[in-house]
Structure 1
Amino acid sequence: MSLIKDMLTSHPAGNSNVDMDALAACIEACFECVQTCTACADACLSEDMLGDMVTCIRTDLDCAEVCSATGKVLARAGKDYASAVDLIRACAAACRRCAEECEQHASAHDHCRICAEACHRCAAACDALLLTIGS
């Protein structure tokens, strides 16, 4: 069991209206994506052809911000997760856009390949959580 899931299940307000495994996996994927996208943007800033990386950097940073907000909102226990559906959908969409952008650079920049993988995982975790919420 992950620490996030431990925390969610131990919260006195409870989270009975959502699948705890899917919720914990989504929160973990969001925060992993925050770190990966932030690191990718930083790595892009060190590339020789910085001008070619501007869109990638911006997309990385946008994705990191959306994932951060989503992870924080989802970590609040005892709520009606149906109200977070639009945020979860936005997170999945931001991750897909970021993955698509990073994949354009993945053959030349390993950090972009890694970032795209994290973004795909986060989008999949968001989709899985949405299925359990019944959106």
Structure 2
Amino acid sequence: MSYATTMLRAHPRPLPHIDRAALAECIEACIEGAQTATACAEACLSEPDLPDLADCIRATLDCADVAGTTAKVLSRHPTYDANLRRALLAACRAASALSAEECERHAERHSHCRVCADACRRCEAACQRLLDV
């Protein structure tokens, strides 16, 4: 069991009508997406074709910031503000998709971009699943 799931279960107030498993999965995917995107941007800065990676670096840093913030807000009790939560999920889904697209363009040459694209696609899908609930 993940820490996100454990914390959701440990909260003294019941969760409103929200899929606890989808919420925990999304929190975890956002955290992993943020970490992976940050690491990918750093790795891109060390590549010899750095000028070709400028858009990728920007997209991964944007994804890292949005995904990290989304994970933090989702970790708060979900009665906080459903409209804010949905807006963050939509923004995170969009940032993750953009980062994945940029990384996929470089995935054949840079393994860190391949890993990042996978993590960003997972984050994008998890955000979409939670939006669909």
TM-score computed with the length of structure 1 as normaliser: 0.94
- TM-aligned CA deviation for residue 118 of structure 1: 0.3
Structure 2 residue identity aligned to 1:108: R
| Equivalent position SS for 2:102 | helix
Question: Is residue 16–residue 79 contact of structure 2 (8 Å, CA) maintained in 1?
Answer: no
Q: Give the CA deviation at 1:80.
A: 4.8
For residue 28 of structure 2, what is the amino acid of its counterpart?
A: E
Which contiguous aligned blocks of 4+ residues in structure 1 show a shift greater than 4 angstroms?
none
In structure 2, distance between residues paired with 1:122 and 1:97? 12
Pairwise CA distance, 1:17: 2.1
Which residue is equivalent to 1:25?
Answer: 25
Is the contact between residue 13 and residue 78 of structure 1 (CA under 8 Å) also seen in structure 2? no
Q: Residue 106 of structure 2 aligns to a residue in which SS? A: coil
Structure 2 unaligned blocks of 5 or more: none
Distance 1:123 1:35 in 2: 14
Residues 19, 32 of structure 1: CA spacing in aligned structure 2 closer, same or farther, 3 A cutoff? same
CA distance in 1, matches of 2:68, 2:112: 20
Q: Deviations over 1:8-64 (max 9, x none)?
A: 111112323211000000000000001100000000000001111111111110000
Aligned to 1:61: 61
Where does the alignment leave 5 or more consecutive residues of structure 1 unmatched? none
**8 A Cα contact 2:22 2:129, kept in partner:** yes
2 CA distance for matches of 1:126 and 1:81? 16
**Secondary structure in structure 2 of the residue aligned to 1:104:** helix
Q: 2:12 is paired with a residue of what secondary structure?
A: coil
Aligned pairs, number: 132
Supply the RMSD in Å over aligned alpha carbons: 1.1
Contact kept? 1:18, 1:81, Cα under 8 Å: no
Q: Which moved more, 1:91-100 or 1:77-86?
A: 77-86
> What aligned pairs does 1:1-135 form with structure 2 within 5 A after superposition?
1-80=1-80, 82-83=82-83, 84-132=85-133
